[in-house]
Structure 1
Amino acid sequence: MALQDQPAYIIKMRAKPGLGDQLFELATAGMKKSGSSDRFIMAREDEDPDVLWNFEVFRSEEVKDAYENGPLADELRDEIIGLLAEPPMRIPVHPYSALPADPS
């Protein structure tokens, strides 16, 4: 499957003040546990450490749908929502390219 055929999300979540570490730990553990992502990057804003950006690329549309409709997603969603200061922003995308860093 070509990278451009893989569904992905860009997600922004803002934790309640002081709960950024807990949000990052839970979100990262959930990504590892689900096994549905081909790759993901968790990023933290320099100016606001309670803001998480997640760039997640799923293995396939079927794997994404199975995860989103499965019990782990429900469990994580409930836990994560309890940590948030505002509703999350989730933008569906498809990757255009992903290149390794230039070693030189």
Structure 2
Amino acid sequence: MTLKHQPAYIIKMRAKPGQGDRLFELATVGMEKSGASDRFVIAREDEDPDVLWNVEVFRSEEAKDAYENSPLADELRDEIIGLLAEPPMRIPVHPYSALPAAPS
């Protein structure tokens, strides 16, 4: 399977004032625990530290569906929604191109 066939999301979430650190913690833990993602980047806006951007590329459509219907996703979703100042933006996409990770 090539990257171009993997489902992905671009997500933007804005935490309530003072809740940004918890939002970032939950988002990161969720990505690490789920095992559904091939790769992800969670970024914090320089001008507004309560805004989270996430680009998540799933291993497969099946992995994405399994995670989205899992108890972990339900648990995280409920807590994350409670931290948000506004509804999240989630855009389904498929990667067009990406460079491989640089060696460490």
User: Normalized against structure 1, the TM-score is what?
Assistant: 0.95
**Secondary structure, aligned partner of 2:56:** strand
Matches within 5 A, 1:22-41: 22-41=22-41
Over the matched positions of the two proteins, sequence identity in percent amounts to: 86
Tell me how large the CA RMSD over aligned residues is. 1.4
Deviations 1:8-33 (A, max 9, x none): 00000000001111100110001101
Which position in structure 2 is the counterpart of 1:62?
A: 62
Amino acid at match of 1:36: A
Amino acid at match of 2:53: W
The whole-number CA distance in structure 2 between the counterparts of 1:76 and 1:88 is 14
**Matched length:** 103
User: Normalized against structure 2, the TM-score is what?
Assistant: 0.95
The whole-number CA distance in structure 1 between the counterparts of 2:101 and 2:66 is 32
Structure 1 gap segments, 5+ residues each: none
Matches within 5 A, 1:1-104: 1-100=1-100
Q: Which runs of 4+ in 1 moved over 2 A?
A: 100-103
